[in-house]
């Protein structure tokens, strides 16, 4: 086997069909959001970021940075071990308490990322519950798909957010067979929101556990910001809530929260929890501070939603087609991978607008899109400018809007 040839040919193939990923070389500067600098064509230039998942800018919040610095000076940089072997720090414990009380659950458990949380929790539940079957929304994130696959449990895919399809599939299963319904609240690429309450009611009717990924809602929905389940007042109906500290919380890490016996079970059997170094204590301290700020005030959440609505109203007024859903995410459909890359390049090179093209395998082929994430820090002028840039770019590439 000519290994190098194989790697090169595989890369050439994705380059040809527009799916080769080029990372933007960015420098974010505290106090400047959503402005940043990009290194391109051998020089630094100014850009406005339009695709960050630091949705509320908490990664640049001064109190969060202060908490991070304080804990790092006190406890050092790394945790020094797994949670079991010397890596269980005061800041981890404090953060887990903060998380479980945020979701009104007994316990919470930290992981090194949201991805690892999904992978580990679903793999553990699916493999340990005897003869378990997992019903998974067809648009679930790769981390859930990976967890289900790793569990080797039977998987049944139900149509996206489709209650009757879910019920039909639940009905075929013996009532006493262990079942998990795995789904998300805010779907980050299609921007829509799951009917959480109704899914939980169905799950209960058929004796299934519910597993909800709130990754794109954490910090942004509900009176204290824990997510959509809080907003629709059904925290107590969801068995396992999973989330990330890497998006609106502004740091990195993931978690699950649930009844104490379930959390203790994942803590005791979950390989992606047991066999890895725990999060740096300073990260945990920064996350706790960020959550406390977001719990205390809804100001950022309100401004965030206002900006998302304003951007959508501008798109509508200018007849630019986008996916109009209830969340803060604003996808503008392009429908072709090469065009998606070209439009994103033109927005960057001509207008200083940074929006990463979203291509396969993140979304299905033919549904390529530009995914805009307005923050509370984008001004009306930023949004007006964005619209004129999108219009000109779509015209240039003759993309019907
Ligand atoms: C729905 C969903 N779940 C989980 C994850 C993984 O979270 P993290 O970035 O913390 O690994 C992502 C990441 O984008 C996601 O979109």
Which residue in the block uniquely carries the two structure tokens 């080769």? 20
- 336 part of a folded domain: yes
Same domain for 228 and 182: yes
Same domain for 178 and 33: no
Helix (H) or strand (E) holding 204: helix 196-205
How far apart are the CA of 189 and the centre of ligand 1, in A? 12
> Does the pTM exceed 0.85?
yes
Same domain for 234 and 120: yes
Same domain for 224 and 145: yes
Helix (H) or strand (E) holding 202: helix 196-205
User: Among 255, 271, 296, where does a domain finish?
Assistant: 296
Q: What is the DSSP letter of 218?
A: T
Nearest to 339 by CA among 48, 19, 9: 19
How far apart are the CA of 328 and the centre of ligand 1, in A? 16
90: domain CATH number?
A: 3.40.640.10
370: domain CATH number?
A: 3.90.1150.10
Per-residue pLDDT of the chain (401 residues; tens, 9 = 90+): 999 999 999 999 999 988 899 999 999 999 999 999 999 999 999 999 999 999 999 999 999 999 999 999 999 999 999 999 999 999 999 999 999 999 999 999 999 999 999 999 999 999 999 999 999 999 999 999 999 999 999 999 999 999 999 999 999 999 999 999 999 999 999 999 999 999 999 999 999 999 999 999 999 999 999 999 999 999 999 999 999 999 999 999 999 999 999 999 999 999 999 999 999 999 999 999 999 999 999 999 999 999 999 999 999 999 999 999 999 999 999 999 999 999 999 999 999 999 999 998 889 999 999 999 999 999 999 999 999 999 999 999 888 76
Write out the two tokens for 134.
């997992």
How, if at all, do strands 369-372 and 35-40 pair? Answer: unpaired
Q: Kindly state if the Cβ of 225 falls inside 6 Å of ligand 1.
A: no
**Nearest atom within ligand 1 for CA of residue 245:** 10
Detail the DSSP E strand segments found in 96-237. Answer: 107-111, 133-137, 154-158, 179-184, 209-213
**Nearest atom within ligand 1 for CA of residue 116:** 11
Range of the domain at 355: 3-59+298-396
Which residue in the block uniquely carries the two structure tokens 């190098």? 4
Query: 363-384: buried (b, 16+ CB within 10 Å) or exposed (e) per residue?
Result: beeebbbbbbbbbbbbeeebbe
- 148 part of a folded domain: yes
**Nearest atom within ligand 1 for CA of residue 254:** 10
Residue 169 bears catalytic tag: no
User: Among 296, 314, 336, where does a domain finish?
Assistant: 296
Quick count: other Cβ atoms within 10 Å of Cβ 78?
A: 14
- 281 part of a folded domain: yes
Write out the two tokens for 55.
């949705």
How far apart are the CA of 399 and the centre of ligand 1, in A? 30
């Amino acid at each position: 086997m000519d290994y190098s040839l194989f790697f090169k040919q595989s890369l050439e193939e994705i380059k040809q069909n527009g799916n080769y990923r080029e990372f933007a070389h960015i420098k974010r500067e505290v106090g400047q959001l959503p402005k940043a600098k990009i290194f391109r064509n051998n020089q630094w230039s100014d850009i406005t970021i339009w695709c960050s998942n630091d949705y509320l800018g908490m990664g640049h919040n001064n109190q969060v940075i202060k908490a991070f610095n304080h804990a790092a000076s006190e406890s050092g940089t790394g945790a020094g071990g797994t949670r079991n072997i010397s890596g269980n720090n005061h800041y981890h414990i404090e953060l887990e308490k903060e998380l479980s009380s945020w979701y009104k659950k007994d316990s919470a458990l930290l992981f090194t990322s949201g991805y690892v949380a999904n992978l580990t929790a679903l793999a553990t539940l699916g493999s340990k519950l005897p003869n378990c079957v997992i019903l998974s929304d067809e648009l679930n994130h790769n981390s859930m798909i990976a967890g289900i696959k790793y569990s080797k449990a039977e998987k049944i895919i139900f149509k996206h957010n489709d209650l009757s399809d879910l019920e039909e599939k639940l009905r075929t299963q013996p009532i006493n067979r262990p079942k998990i319904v795995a789904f998300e609240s805010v779907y980050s690429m299609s921007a829509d929101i799951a009917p959480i309450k109704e899914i939980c009611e169905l799950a209960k009717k058929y004796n299934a556990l519910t597993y909800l990924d709130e990754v794109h809602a954490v910090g942004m929905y509900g009176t204290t910001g824990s997510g959509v389940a809080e907003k629709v007042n059904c925290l107590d109906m969801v068995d396992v809530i999973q989330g990330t500290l890497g998006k609106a919380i502004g740091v990195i890490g993931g978690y699950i929260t649930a009844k104490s016996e379930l959390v203790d079970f994942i803590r005791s059997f979950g390989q992606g929890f047991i066999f890895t170094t725990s999060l740096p204590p300073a990260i945990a301290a920064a996350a706790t501070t960020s959550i406390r700020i977001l719990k205390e005030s809804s100001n950022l959440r309100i401004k965030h939603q206002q900006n998302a609505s304003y951007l959508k109203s501008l798109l509508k007024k200018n007849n630019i087609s986008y996916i109009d859903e209830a969340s803060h995410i604003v996808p503008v459909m392009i429908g072709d991978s090469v065009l998606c890359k070209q439009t994103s390049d033109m927005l960057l090179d001509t207008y200083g607008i940074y929006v990463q093209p979203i291509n396969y395998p993140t979304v299905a082929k033919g549904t390529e899109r530009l995914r805009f994430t307005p923050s509370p820090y984008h001004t009306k002028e930023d949004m007006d400018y964005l619209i004129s840039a999108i219009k000109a770019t779509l015209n240039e590439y003759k993309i019907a809007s």
